[in-house]
Amino acid sequence: MADAIASVSLVIERIAELFVERAVVNLFSGIRSEIDGTMAELEQLRYFLKDADTYVRHGNVEVSNLVSKTKDIAFRIDDLLSRLTFDLASKREEGGLTYFLIRRLPWILNEKFKLSKVRSELDEIRTKIAHLRSRDSSSTSNRLVSICGIGGIGKTTLAMKLYRDSRVRRHFDSLAWATVSQDFQAGHLFAKILIQLTSATTDEREKISRMRPEKIAADISGVLKSRKCLLVLDDIWTTEAWDRLKPAFSKDQTHPSISKILITTRSKNVAFHAAAAAADDDDEEAFLHELQALDKDESFKLFQKKAWDLTNSKLNETTTELANEMLEHCSGLPLAISLLAGLLSTRRSINECKILREDFQTYLKRYNIHEEQQEGSRHLGLSWLLNLSYDDLPSYSKPCLLYFCLFPEGYEIKVSQLCQLWIAEGFVSLSPWQRGNSFETMEEVAYGCLCELVHRCIIQVEEWGSTGRIRTCRIHHLIRDFCMSKASDETFLQSIILSNNREMMNISSSSTVKNVLQINGFQRLAVNVNNHANPMLISGNNNHKYAHLRSLAFANLSPIQLKQVWKPLLNKFHLLRVLKLENLKRLVQLPKDIGKLKDLRFLSIKDSDMEQLPSSIGYLRYLQTLDLRTVSRLTLPNVIYKLKELRHLYLPCRSSVTDKKLFLNGLNSLQTLTSISIDCNHWNNLARLTNLRRLEVYINKNLGDCYHPTSVTFNRLEFLAVKNDSASTINITPIILRYPRTYEIHVGLPVEKLPQDDQISPNLIKLTLAHTGLKYDPMATLQKLPNLRTLHLDRDAFLGFEMVSSRGGFPRLESLSLVELFHLEEWRVEEGALPSLCRLNIRCCKRLMTLPVGLKHVITLKEIMIERMPTEFKYRVGEGGVDFYKVKHVPSLVFLNISE
């Protein structure tokens, strides 16, 4: 096998050497096209030969024959090149290169014919290889893999490790991950999967969002058959749930799937049911892996690692002794061990450890006895730890934790909204010394509370932002179950699913209750409604039960259902502070009486199909957060300026104002303002909103002539996004000039040129340029920014052909994305550039032929993701390719959705 690889590699190198001289390149244009094609074919075959050795050792005759034939063709090409090289050398001495080329023109035409024949043979070999790979992928390995085990044992963690492992990812063309909750919506889940499998662009995402679930499922099935995909379905609860998802994974005997599906489930019945659906009559294609609890040594090693991550210090003898004692009662569950590490991380002194030991013994005795009396307890002997962790929280953190139950199980929670909800509920307030700090806000206090829950391993971080802050988080289902029980006992919150005409699912007890809604005295209610549920269950004669409601969250209500709910809502729920009406479809409308909810602090109609907002919204004088990001064009009354307590205003991307211009004067508490369309006068008026932290504007004309930097006081602004729907070019420099606290900037419109590096905030950490249409290399300016860590160049941000990253440039850049730069042909990286780069993403840059050689000097690079690039790019850069030496030091090199 090694001699075959060496033969092909030698031919590729000789082709490259032959065409170094420009004279040869120019005068051999006829043969050059054939040799280029031959070289590309050989590069792909060399990539195949790297894997072929395994098949040959196992006696695969077909592969052995292909390897032999490849060697033979390589020798024939080498012979042609040798004769050409010999003739070139001899004829140079006789009469010069030009004379030789004229005399040898008939020979050149003859060699071109021979090379064409060789290319045809190479293409035939490549077709056979593709067939062998497809057949091997679909028939010799398990199509479906199930990871099964009790809650908290680490199913999701194991699946995520596999999903993120570079050794796994490089074997697949497309990847997707989806969490299946108890009350999942099949359409939403299918859309999420298809977007990931196809690396969908912004326009493609919008198209998918408008498709019917049946069509999306059919498209997913097609992708799974045409590409080698890895799809992970996390936390499938029931066999019925699998049956609802199964249409997207249907099998076709004429076009068998070459993809793999990995599921996690707590139920063996689900695993066996899915396996039966994935199996042929005579070919078992499913594999079940049942996770077992950790033993004593494994448990302590995990605890040590978690404790070190949390405290960055070694355990003292007292803590180690107490940990070993408590670990014996953690059932070998990784979740419990993590909770224990979080609990002990708050104990630094010996005295604190002694107190904790006493509490541990008390809780262990109390809750173990209690669990023995409860058959079928869902907490698996961990009630002592769950209760101890909860009771150990500061008093202000407890309602914040219970509030996670407002969100559906498995939901990825956006931290910014979570903090706003906590503030609206009154869980967060400023101390006297914090009020004296002009930069301290309730949002920062709320974020600190979340960080404490994360540090205690109670809440899981799902995604970190580029500035080092938590962007999204999630609560484990076992901890959520415990919190639901607590919230129910304390009449704090109830979460229900209305599933059909007269049936309700009570999540806190996982039991079905008919005809009655047991929520007497509850202060908060989250209702997820399917298309056939009867909302009269929460209206009519029952509305006296809701008099104490402070929060009400609805999802998926229809217009008819909403109308039936409104009357009791507006007449009885005067104490409401939070109202979430999200994802309401088919053109719903808020009633004029919305203004009766005088105490409302948080109102969201995000992702709902709504066309008009009533003017009575102006009566909500205590409103702090107003989220109007609807999916349809929304007409706004010009009354928002009356909401003097407003802190966060999210306007829809498409909107109109009854008086043409939206007044926001006097909103001095406003911190967030998105999707505001402005002109010169409006921009200068915005400068009076001195507390703005996050600003996203749509500019409808050039502000350069009317912008006065001395009048602008956005000295607290942290995020700035400037966009434009028109094609007119804007002078961006006056707009982003010297905002001292701006950490993140997004420019999404055509600009004349970039500001000089000394005109951009020195604190800038993240920069996104999209649709900017720059004609000159942006790297020359951006590489001088001292603290830039994340850079995205997206969708024709640069229209030139070449970019250069110079020596010493981008000293702190960690993440770089080049997306849809359709004109880019060459990117050069000088030695000493990008000394901190960890992640590189290149997507849909169709003219870029290879990666820069300078990347071989970037030793910090850990991950390269290549998406929607030509096949030739993969074969040049991938393992075995002619340019693989540039990136062979990178641990993770992944190619996704490579085009033919």
pLDDT digits (tens, 9 = 90+) for 835-861: 999 999 999 999 999 999 999 999 999
| pLDDT recorded at residue 140 | 43
Q: In terms of domains, do 752 and 798 share one? A: no
Tell whether the model's pLDDT for residue 163 goes beyond 60: yes
Q: How far apart are CA 632 and CA 611, in angstroms?
A: 6
pLDDT tens digits along 584-630: 776 667 888 889 899 999 999 998 888 889 999 999 999 999 999 98
What letter represents residue 689's amino acid?
A: L
Tell whether the model's pLDDT for residue 892 goes beyond 80: yes
Is 555 among the domain residues? no
pLDDT tens digits along 241-268: 999 998 888 766 555 567 899 999 998 8
| Mean pLDDT on 703-728 | 69
Given 290, 314, 338, the domain boundary residue is 290
pLDDT tens digits along 188-200: 899 999 999 998 8
pLDDT tens digits along 350-374: 888 889 889 998 998 888 655 544 5
Tell whether the model's pLDDT for residue 116 goes beyond 90: no
| Mean pLDDT on 456-469 | 92
| Mean pLDDT on 471-492 | 93
Pairing of strands 625-627, 648-650: parallel
Given 764, 788, 803, the domain boundary residue is 764
Is 464 among the domain residues? no
| pLDDT recorded at residue 843 | 95
Is 163 among the domain residues? yes
Tell whether the model's pLDDT for residue 510 goes beyond 60: no
| Mean pLDDT on 417-431 | 93
- Assign 97 a pLDDT band (cuts: 50, 70, 90): very low
Q: How far apart are CA 527 and CA 552, in angstroms?
A: 8
| Mean pLDDT on 17-24 | 51
Q: In terms of domains, do 53 and 76 share one? A: yes
| pLDDT recorded at residue 60 | 56
Residues 6+ apart with CB under 8 A from 442: 423, 428, 429, 430
Q: How far apart are CA 294 and CA 368, in angstroms?
A: 21
Of 117-126, 353-362, 441-450, 694-703, highest mean pLDDT: 441-450
| Mean pLDDT on 660-687 | 82
Q: In terms of domains, do 759 and 788 share one? A: no
| pLDDT recorded at residue 578 | 96
Is 511 among the domain residues? no
| pLDDT recorded at residue 513 | 33
Identify the weakest region by mean pLDDT among 5-9, 169-173, 749-753: 5-9
Mean pLDDT of the chain: 80
Coil/strand/helix, residue 437: coil
| pLDDT recorded at residue 185 | 82
CA distances from 455 to 18, 101, 444, 448, 626 (A): 61, 74, 16, 10, 30
| Mean pLDDT on 713-730 | 80
Is 882 among the domain residues? yes
CATH of residue 269's domain is 3.40.50.300
CB of 671 closer than 8 Å to CB of 691:
yes
| pLDDT recorded at residue 6 | 63
Q: In terms of domains, do 732 and 804 share one? A: no
- CA-nearest of 684, 814, 678, 681 to 749 is 678
- CB neighbourhood size of 850 (10 A): 15
Is 879 among the domain residues? yes
| Residue range of the domain that includes 744 | 685-703+712-764
Radius of gyration of the chain (CA): 32
Tell whether the model's pLDDT for residue 736 goes beyond 80: no
Q: In terms of domains, do 699 and 803 share one? A: no
Give the residue, 28 or 327, on which the prediction is more confident: 327
Tell whether the model's pLDDT for residue 281 goes beyond 50: no
Is 176 among the domain residues? yes
Q: In terms of domains, do 233 and 261 share one? A: yes
Q: How far apart are CA 383 and CA 394, in angstroms?
A: 19
| Mean pLDDT on 408-426 | 94
Q: In terms of domains, do 792 and 760 share one? A: no
Q: What percent of the chain has pLDDT over 90?
A: 39
- CA-nearest of 425, 423, 420, 415 to 672 is 420
Coil/strand/helix, residue 769: strand
Q: In terms of domains, do 161 and 51 share one? A: no
Residues 6+ apart with CB under 8 A from 485: 508
Q: In terms of domains, do 265 and 160 share one? A: yes
Q: How far apart are CA 236 and CA 245, in angstroms?
A: 10
Tell whether the model's pLDDT for residue 412 goes beyond 60: yes
Coil/strand/helix, residue 1: coil
| pLDDT recorded at residue 373 | 45
Q: In terms of domains, do 786 and 747 share one? A: no
Tell whether the model's pLDDT for residue 432 goes beyond 90: no
Tell whether the model's pLDDT for residue 161 goes beyond 80: yes
pLDDT tens digits along 525-580: 888 776 555 544 454 455 555 667 889 888 766 666 666 666 666 777 788 999 99
* 3-state per-residue secondary structure call for 571-627: HHCCCCCEEEEECCCCCECCCHHHHHCCCCCEEECCCCCECECCHHHHHCCCCCEEE
CB of 551 closer than 8 Å to CB of 406:
yes
| pLDDT recorded at residue 31 | 54
Domain count, the chain: 4
pLDDT tens digits along 197-231: 998 887 888 889 889 999 999 999 999 988 889 99
Residue 168: phi, psi to the nearest 5?
-85, -45
Record the pTM: 0.81
Q: In terms of domains, do 274 and 176 share one? A: yes
Is 618 among the domain residues? no
| pLDDT recorded at residue 503 | 42
- CB neighbourhood size of 535 (10 A): 20
| pLDDT recorded at residue 879 | 86
| pLDDT recorded at residue 516 | 34
- Assign 466 a pLDDT band (cuts: 50, 70, 90): confident
Q: In terms of domains, do 786 and 741 share one? A: no
